[in-house]
Structure 1
Amino acid sequence: MKLFSCPSCGQVLFFENTQCECCGHKLGYCTESASLLALAPTENGEGWNPVGQGVETPTRFLCTNAKYDVCNWLVPEGSTDALCMACRYNHVIPDLSKEGNQELWRQLEQAKHRLVYSLLLLKLPMPTRQDDPKGGLVFNFPDDLPNGSGKVLTGHNEGEITIALREADDAEREKMRVEMGEHYRTLLGHFRHEVGHFYWNVLVRNAGNEDACRAVFGDHTQDYGAALQRHYESGPPVGWQESYVSAYATTHPWEDFAETWAHYLHIVDTLQTAVSYGIAVDPAAAKDGSLTRRFDFDAYGSDNFGGLLEAWPPLTIAVNALNRSMGQADLYPFILTPPIAEKLRFIHELVHHLPLKPVAAPPQ
């Protein structure tokens, strides 16, 4: 994630900021420039004029969901939509008459907006349901049914991504993380994983890349329901850490792809954050220079996967050490083995429309 600055006064800003605490201007995220704009109300109060831009700019409008304090994005310039680029994909939102649901929705939207930020920077296709009624992207954020009569399941079905509202409750999500024996469970991780299923449809199935993907992740035609049942009854196979980024990735090739896709987004966005903060790692104890890195590249735009992969370990080792100094668990509890790295390379090649390199079939 980038670090931003106020166009009016130069104050440092963060992605979710809605107002500059230094000069007081309203803020709106502009998808066209991937920047936060400082805004002043128009004379009639019906829109906003960007300030501090140096040139005359047209009147802009905030997403209608700004009134619920869940969105700080601007409607695309010239659009007559009431919703921004991120919120127009919403289909089911929480019942806002229920106490606490607006705050849970805010947590979901912050994660979803970070996801959409990444997808836009990667220039990935994002067809809406209007563009593709049968497979366009759409988000549902339902609550569980009352009186314990039914729990919503987080998942994906032909472009329809459902994130259970209870996942936005930190205590409930942590409880599920511990019960399921997961190292990592976050809202942003859910979004990145589920959109991985969507892009399997778009970039693999619909693009004619099933054979290439099968060579990397295994045979996706095996029965999914049976694979899921086997996973929950028996757990992951012994030694899964050598070839899979998570235990859940062992369930089925579709889940392996989605977990690896999510991991790729973790990597590029975290590396962009390191670049934005001017981070450098140069521990004196590592006399061979193996952990020395300066983060000064375009993580989202680079087609050099090897460079991204080389930069990643020094950063994660450093942040894990910082977390331990605060008595916290490792921020990055994963190990990227060569087989996992090859899966990440495949995702990178898909994302950047690079030739898909043939690899040996994965172990079954």
Structure 2
Amino acid sequence: MAGVAVGGANAATDLDLYQESVVVSQNADRQEQNEAIAEAFSRLIVRVTGLQQSLDNEAIQEALTQGADYIATFRFDVSDQFFTNVLGEQVPTKEMVLQFDKNAVDTLLVQNRLPVWGQRRPDVLVWLADRLDGQEHILTDAEGTEVSQALLASATERGIPVVLPIGDLTDTLNLSFSELYGLFSRDIETASERYEHDAILAGRIVPAAGNDVQADWLLLFKGERLRLPTVSGSVSSVVAQGIDLVAQRLSEQYALMLDPTMIGNLSVNVLGVEKLDDFAAVENYLKSINLITRATLSRFSEDGVEFLVEVSGDRSQLIDVLALDDRLLPVTETTLNAQLDNRLVYRWQSN
């Protein structure tokens, strides 16, 4: 889930949030499979809501015991892992690949007033300095270190698309190790301008007592500078806490309480729609937005189309979600009538 996007604009990635996999023994009985499904389902719930504490909900805890009811399809794949049984013997395994039913899961969350965070997730640029090998080091996109693997595993589990710096001469000149290690936000933001991202996670990791490490994290998002108190533990645990900081804050911004009783209507006028293919693409795009419960064509015009959309939220939330990528670029509407009509105007950017 890591990538490199150079260009300096906002960026978002569409993820398959409702697929999970878990390894079970080759001859797993029903109990072992059900326990594995519950484990996978709990990860999915946290990923879709963005909130670890969603697992504290009593109704969710009950649903986890009935996880099989929320599965649309499943299959078994080959696994090269081995378990060790109580006798110390190596036991072959297989992988369960589970596709959960999106509608059933979302309904469960809505009924229990938990947020639903859609598949379009903001890209997070990660700058990470460490001294784990006794040398000054900045994590780049071409590495396969323990830190890199822990970061990608945690980001994948939480549904956070991450972008890592290239680590070329430009990066070296733009941001020194000492500037990143000091978590100097202005220097980090300046160095980040060349990358497409919506948020920045900066951190530093140093050795601690025994085999533990110590980490500090800084999240830069929408003008905010959020610091996480120093954390200690294994590499995977401190990295997971950094990703958790990101997931919590982005969930607050983009995850929505989809309340069917709080539906609002907006007009979305889309300019630059000249071909039938463009119209179909715009319609499909609007229907893919988690916040939009219905998009109905209102009228055609010479310069575009207008949709009447039902929104489970408010105008500002829809604007935030549409700003995650560059398919619809906002057009400033200056007329009083447009503002009073609750109308949004955008220009379509075809691929």
Same fold (TM over 0.5): no
Q: Which has the larger share of strand?
A: 2
TM-score bracket, normalised by the shorter chain, equals under 0.3
Larger Cα-atom Rg: 2
User: Structure 2 length normalisation: TM-score?
Assistant: 0.26
Structure having greater relative contact order (Cα 8 Å, sep ≥ 6): 2
User: Structure 1 length normalisation: TM-score?
Assistant: 0.26
Q: Which has the larger share of helix?
A: 1
